[in-house]
Structure 1
Amino acid sequence: MNPSPDPAPADLPVTLEIVLEPADNLRLANLCGQFDEHLRLLEQRLGVEINSRGNHFNVIGDPRPAQAAAELLKDLYRDTARETLSPQRVHLHLQESGVDRLLERAEAQAPEDMALHLRKGIIRGRGTNQMRYLRHIRSHDLNFGIGPAGTGKTYLAVAAAVEALETDRVRRLVLVRPAVEAGERLGFLPGDLAQKIDPYLRPMYDALYEMLGFDTVAKLMERNVIEVAPLAYMRGRTLNDAFVILDEAQNTTTEQMKMFLTRIGFGSTAVVNGDVTQTDLPHHRQSGLRHVIEVLKDVNGVSFTFFTSRDVVRHPLVQRIIEAYEKDEKKGGD
C-alpha cells in the first residue's frame, strides 16, 4: 500500500465511508474474521474505529490513520478473492503496508508540550496522542480516550483530575466503572456492590495514591471529595463542579452510556476511557463506547483521542517479551 498524501492536520476525528465491491457475504466474512477479529486488529494497530454493515464500512479516527485503515480494508478485500485471511496474514499485511512510517510521520508533528502541575510534581504527556489527550481534557467538557491498555489513558485522566481539584476548578472527583463480570463472578465476592467493584478500580486508586498520598486520599474519600461509584449508582444524579472519570467504558451498554453522559452538570469535566477491541459484554450486546463514537463524533464540546499500540508505555523487558511472542505467533502462521 502506498499511503495517500497527508491530509491537513486536525484534532477532530474524521469519518471515512467506503463501499467494498462486489458485495459478497463470504468474502466479507473472510475480511472481518471470526467475531470481527481482523477488524479489531486494524483498530488496535491504527487507533481507529471500524463499523460495518454489509459491504458498507465507516472508519472513524484521526485523518492519517483513518485514511490508512480505509486503504488497508480495500487491499485486504481484494486479497479475499484468492485467499483465506488469518490474523497472521493481516498482521503481515500491516507490516508490509508502510503504515508504521505513516504513523511515525504523524508522531513527528507533535503538538506543544503538555504538562500537569501537581503539588507532588509535574506530569508530562509522552508522544503526540498523550499530549493531544491532555490538551483536549483542558479545553473540552466531555473527552473520550480510546485505545489499548497501557497507553496512559487512566493515569493521565486521574492526573488531570487531581490538578483540577488542587487548583479549585472542581470540588470533587468521581471515579466510575461498569460492574461487568470479566470471567469472574461478582456475586461470589464478599461485601456490597461498591466493595465488590473496588478491586476493578485499582489502577485509579494507585494513581491517586501516587499523586496525593495514601493518607490524603483516605481523608478525601471520608469527606466524599473523592467518590468511587459503580456505574449503576449514577442513575438519577446530576454532577456539578466535578471531574468524572468513567473507566473500562467498552463494557457499558448503549443505554448505560447515555445515562452516564446525561449526568454531567455545570462546571464539570468528564473523561470516558476504554478499548473497543476488549469488551466483556455478551456478543449480542453492542458496546456503548463503540456506539457513542458514531453518535457524538460531530458534536461540539466533545473530544476524541484515539490511542494505538504504539502509544503503550512499557518496561523494556515487557517490550522484549511481546516481541518474542510475536515472533512465535509468526512461526505458527507459517
Structure 2
Amino acid sequence: MVTSVLPPASDPNSMHETLVEFPDNLLLIDLCGEYDRNLAEIEQKLGVQIMRRGNQLAVVGEEAAAGEAVDVLTALYKRLETGKSVEHADVDRELRMGGSEDGTGSRDGDQLEMFKGGHVEIKTRKKLVEPRTDAQKVYVTSLFSNELAFGIGPAGTGKTYLAVAVGVSMFIEGHVDRIILSRPAVEAGEKLGYLPGDMKDKVDPYMQPLYDALNDFLPDKQLAKLIEDKRIEIAPLAFMRGRTLSNAYVVLDEAQNATSMQMKMFLTRLGEGSRMVITGDRTQIDLPRGVTSGLHDAERLLKSIPKISFNYFTAKDVVRHPLVAAIIEAYEADV
C-alpha cells in the first residue's frame, strides 16, 4: 500500500490531497461499501471528500482531517485483509478511535493476550465484539485485568453490553464456571402494580436487558440449557443475600438503584476465583427521595483500594442513535 501526499500550501487550512493505493480491488469495493456508504460516512464525519481513481482513493480536505481519513481507511482495509467484514459499527469505531487499531485481530489463545499491539476484541459464540471508543477499550481491558471493576456513565455507552460479552468470553474459555447477572428490582419512576405469574414472571421484566445481551452472544438453545442448568443465573439483587459466589463472573447492573446496604451485601459476596463488575448511571437514580445510592457510596469508599478499577464514560461514548448523545449532553448542560 503506497501513500502519496501532495505538498501542503503555507496556509494550514488549505485543501490537501492524499492518494492512497489499495492493491486488491475486491477488498477496495468492500471498503467503500454499498453505494459508497462507508466513504460517505467518513466524508461526513471528517469534512473531507473522497474520490475513487482505479485502485486508489484520493482524500481531499484540510491536512489534519485528510490524514485522519487516511488512517481510518487504512485500518479498515487491514481489517478486510484479515478476512473480517466492514460494517457500519466498524467504520464508527475507527472514526472514534482515529484509525488506531492495528487491524490484525491477532490473538495468542489466552484472552489476556488480546491487548498486544493495542487491539482489543471479545470472542463469543455468536459474534466478535470490539470496543468502539477509547473509554470502552480501557473498560474492556480492565474487566479482564481486575477482579472488581466499575463502569459508570450514561445510557448507551455499552457498560452492560461489554460486561456481559466479557463474561460470556471468560465462560466459554473456561476461566469461570458460571455467569451471574443481577439488577435491583426498582421501578423507573412509575408504579406498575402487582404483576401476574410466579416469581420468575414477576422479576423477568426487570431483567430483560440482561437477557437481551445474552441473546446477542449465545445461541438460543445453548442459552436456555445453561440457564436451566444454573450455569447462567439472572436474578434480582435481593436474591444475592447469604450467598458466596465462587468461580463465577458476576455483574450488577443499574447499581445506582442499589441502597448502600445492598451494595455492601453484594460486594461481599465475591468468592475465590470470581470476578465482579458493577455498572451504573449516576443520573438515573430511581430510589426514594432521601435514600443514598449504593453506587455513590462505593465510589467514595473504594477508590483508594488497589485492584479495584473505576471506568467512566461520557456522552462521547454513546454508541446508540446519535440523538441519544445529543439528548444526554442537553440534560447535562441543564444541571
153, 159, 162: which one aligns with 1:156? 162
1:114-142 Cα deviation digits (max 9, x unpaired): 11122323111111110010010001001
Q: How many Å apart are 1:185 and its aligned residue?
A: 3.3
Tell me the equivalent position of 1:165: 171
Instruction: Look up the SS of the partner of 2:266 in the other structure.
Output: helix
130, 140, 144: which one aligns with 2:146? 140
Task: State the one-letter code of the partner of 1:253.
Answer: T
Instruction: Work out whether 1:282 is the aligned partner of 2:313.
Output: no
Tell me the equivalent position of 1:92: none
Say if 1:246 and 1:271, in contact at 8 Å, map to a contact too.
yes
231, 234, 238: which one aligns with 1:225? 231
**In structure 1, C-alpha distance between the alignment counterparts of 2:97 and 2:218, rounded to whole Å:** 31
Say if 1:170 and 1:241, in contact at 8 Å, map to a contact too.
yes
Instruction: Work out whether 1:185 is the aligned partner of 2:191.
Output: yes
Tell me the equivalent position of 1:17: none
Tell me the equivalent position of 1:11: none
Say if 2:156 and 2:324, in contact at 8 Å, map to a contact too.
no
Greater helix share, 1 or 2? 1
Instruction: Look up the SS of the partner of 1:160 in the other structure.
Output: helix
Instruction: Work out whether 1:248 is the aligned partner of 2:254.
Output: yes
- Of stretches 167-176 and 107-116 in structure 1, the one that deviates more from structure 2 is 107-116
Task: State the one-letter code of the partner of 1:118.
Answer: T
Say if 2:207 and 2:235, in contact at 8 Å, map to a contact too.
no
Q: How many Å apart are 1:322 and its aligned residue?
A: 4.3
**In structure 2, C-alpha distance between the alignment counterparts of 1:275 and 1:319, rounded to whole Å:** 14
Task: State the one-letter code of the partner of 1:263.
Answer: R
Tell me the equivalent position of 2:269: 263
Tell me the equivalent position of 1:116: 122
Residues 283 and 320 of structure 1, relative CA distance in 2, 3 Å threshold: closer
Task: State the one-letter code of the partner of 2:188.
Answer: A
Counting only pairs closer than 5 Å after superposition, residues 74-93 of structure 1 correspond to structure 2 as none
Instruction: Look up the SS of the partner of 1:188 in the other structure.
Output: coil
Tell me the equivalent position of 2:278: 272
**In structure 2, C-alpha distance between the alignment counterparts of 1:307 and 1:192, rounded to whole Å:** 37
**In structure 2, C-alpha distance between the alignment counterparts of 1:267 and 1:201, rounded to whole Å:** 25
Instruction: Work out whether 1:303 is the aligned partner of 2:309.
Output: yes
190, 205, 215: which one aligns with 2:211? 205
Instruction: Look up the SS of the partner of 1:305 in the other structure.
Output: strand
**Aligned-residue RMSD, C-alpha:** 2.7
Q: How many Å apart are 1:199 and its aligned residue?
A: 1.4
**In structure 1, C-alpha distance between the alignment counterparts of 2:153 and 2:186, rounded to whole Å:** 19
Tell me the equivalent position of 1:174: 180
Residues 200 and 122 of structure 1, relative CA distance in 2, 3 Å threshold: same
Q: How many Å apart are 1:195 and its aligned residue?
A: 2.6
Task: State the one-letter code of the partner of 1:130.
Answer: Q
Instruction: Look up the SS of the partner of 1:244 in the other structure.
Output: strand
Q: How many Å apart are 1:326 and its aligned residue?
A: 5.2
**In structure 1, C-alpha distance between the alignment counterparts of 2:289 and 2:127, rounded to whole Å:** 44
**In structure 1, C-alpha distance between the alignment counterparts of 2:325 and 2:268, rounded to whole Å:** 43
Number of equivalenced pairs: 223
**In structure 1, C-alpha distance between the alignment counterparts of 2:284 and 2:198, rounded to whole Å:** 26
**In structure 2, C-alpha distance between the alignment counterparts of 1:169 and 1:178, rounded to whole Å:** 27
Q: How many Å apart are 1:279 and its aligned residue?
A: 0.3
Residues 192 and 126 of structure 1, relative CA distance in 2, 3 Å threshold: same
Q: Percent identical across equivalent pairs?
A: 50
Residues 170 and 320 of structure 1, relative CA distance in 2, 3 Å threshold: closer
Say if 1:194 and 1:230, in contact at 8 Å, map to a contact too.
no
Say if 1:208 and 1:217, in contact at 8 Å, map to a contact too.
yes
Name the TM-score, length of structure 2 as normaliser. 0.62
**In structure 2, C-alpha distance between the alignment counterparts of 1:230 and 1:300, rounded to whole Å:** 28
Task: State the one-letter code of the partner of 2:214.
Answer: L
* Unaligned residue ranges in structure 1 (runs of 5+): 1-105
- Of stretches 160-169 and 210-219 in structure 1, the one that deviates more from structure 2 is 210-219
Counting only pairs closer than 5 Å after superposition, residues 13-162 of structure 1 correspond to structure 2 as 112-162=118-168
Say if 1:113 and 1:125, in contact at 8 Å, map to a contact too.
no
**In structure 1, C-alpha distance between the alignment counterparts of 2:184 and 2:330, rounded to whole Å:** 32
Tell me the equivalent position of 1:60: none
* Unaligned residue ranges in structure 2 (runs of 5+): 1-95, 102-114
Q: How many Å apart are 1:156 and its aligned residue?
A: 0.3
**In structure 2, C-alpha distance between the alignment counterparts of 1:232 and 1:256, rounded to whole Å:** 8
Q: Return the index of the structure with the highest Cα Rg.
A: 2
Runs of 4+ in 1 over 3 A off after TM superposition: 106-111, 184-187, 318-323
Which structure's relative contact order is higher, taking Cα pairs within 8 Å and 6+ residues apart? 1
